[in-house]
């Protein structure tokens, strides 16, 4: 009987040990499972956050790329508008010096003679000048805040100032007209390079940043240094081309009347003395 009791006791102890081990093992497995699940959730959260960050970065990059494309399109549009204004003025550049004086001096004779050609020529020159000035209030203000745009803005405003100065003068030598043509070409090239490359041509060495009018006729006309790309092509189509330092603007024979300052016939016939 005692032997059977001992066996029963040892069996019970073994069962208790097995149950205890099972409980401990189950708890440990549960803790491990919960830890793995926690790590999996954390990993999944990190992967989800990484994917969200990458998605947001792609969206930002696409938005920035779209904004840059729109900025470049606006820059090209505004620069093209300014180039067009300069191009409208350049064929009339020889008529700009003394424009204000001619408008007042010739208005009476044009009315008296019924000849509107002189008045119309002055009006076209004045319209081109005002268009150039209007560009400083519109397209020029929209070129942007970049350093290149700021330099292009300075050069365009200087062109407006030079043309205004020439229009208010009584007359101008050929050198001044050539200087105006060269500087207008320089500003056009500046705007073109700004639109194409978001950069402007440099100027240094023997050329001042801004030209001066009213220098001696024997002085060379202003040109930039170094010459920017496309300079020869651009200056080849300037109108008018180089003129003699000893003839008036528009006078090719020495006997022709000044094309920039034509004299209308006097009322009742006869010549009008040159003022």
In a domain, 167, yes or no: yes
In a domain, 213, yes or no: yes
On the CB side of 119, CA atoms within 13 Å amount to 10
Q: Judge contact between 242 and 80, C-beta under 8 A.
A: no
Q: Judge contact between 256 and 86, C-beta under 8 A.
A: no
Q: How confident is the model at residue 108, as a pLDDT?
A: 57
The pTM assigned to this predicted structure is: 0.69
Is 188 exposed, middle or buried (CB count within 10 Å of its CB: 0-12, 13-18, 19+)? buried
Domain range enclosing 114? 75-236
In a domain, 85, yes or no: yes
In a domain, 49, yes or no: no
Question: Can you tell me which residue has the tokens 């790590």?
Answer: 39
Q: Judge contact between 158 and 90, C-beta under 8 A.
A: no
In a domain, 204, yes or no: yes
In a domain, 101, yes or no: yes
pLDDT per residue rounded down to tens, the chain (275 residues): 555 555 555 656 666 677 777 777 788 878 888 888 888 888 888 888 888 888 888 998 889 888 888 888 999 999 999 999 999 999 999 889 888 888 777 655 555 555 577 778 888 999 999 999 999 999 999 998 999 999 999 999 999 999 999 999 887 788 899 999 999 999 999 999 999 999 999 998 778 889 999 888 888 889 999 999 889 888 887 654 444 333 333 333 333 334 334 444 444 444 433 33
In a domain, 28, yes or no: no
Q: How confident is the model at residue 241, as a pLDDT?
A: 44
Q: How confident is the model at residue 4, as a pLDDT?
A: 55
What is the count of structural domains for the chain?
1
Q: Angle at Cα 49 formed by Cα 44 and Cα 54, nearest 5°?
A: 125
Q: How confident is the model at residue 255, as a pLDDT?
A: 37
Q: Angle at Cα 199 formed by Cα 142 and Cα 65, nearest 5°?
A: 65
Q: How confident is the model at residue 2, as a pLDDT?
A: 53
Q: What gap in Å lies between CA 12 and CA 170, rounded to an integer?
A: 128
Q: How confident is the model at residue 170, as a pLDDT?
A: 82
CA-nearest of 183, 125, 129 to 154 is 183
In a domain, 138, yes or no: yes
């Amino acid at each position: 009987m005692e032997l059977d009791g001992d066996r029963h006791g040892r069996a019970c102890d073994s069962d208790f040990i097995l149950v205890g081990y099972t409980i401990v093992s189950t708890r440990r497995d549960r803790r491990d499972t919960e830890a793995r699940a926690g790590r999996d959730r954390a990993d999944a959260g990190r992967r989800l956050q990484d994917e969200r960050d990458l998605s947001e970065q792609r969206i930002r990059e696409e938005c920035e790329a779209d904004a840059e494309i729109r900025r470049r399109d606006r820059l090209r549009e505004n620069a093209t508008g300014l180039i067009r204004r300069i191009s409208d003025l350049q064929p009339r550049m020889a008529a700009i010096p003394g424009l204000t004086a001619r408008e007042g001096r010739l208005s009476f004779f044009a009315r008296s003679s019924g000849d509107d050609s002189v008045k119309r020529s002055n009006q076209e020159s004045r319209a081109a000048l005002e268009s150039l000035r209007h560009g400083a209030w519109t397209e020029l203000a929209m070129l942007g805040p970049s350093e290149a745009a700021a330099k292009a803005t300075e050069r365009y405003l200087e062109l407006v100032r030079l043309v205004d100065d020439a229009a208010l003068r009584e007359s101008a030598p050929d050198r001044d007209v050539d200087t105006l043509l060269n500087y207008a070409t320089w500003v056009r090239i500046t705007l073109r390079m700004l639109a194409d490359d978001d950069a402007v041509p440099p100027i240094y060495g023997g050329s001042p940043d801004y030209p001066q009018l009213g220098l001696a006729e024997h002085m060379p006309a202003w040109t930039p240094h170094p010459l920017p790309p496309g300079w020869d092509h651009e200056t080849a189509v300037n109108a008018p081309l180089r003129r003699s330092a000893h003839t008036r603007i528009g006078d090719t024979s020495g006997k022709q009347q000044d094309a920039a300052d034509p004299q209308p016939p006097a009322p009742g016939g006869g010549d009008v003395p040159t003022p």
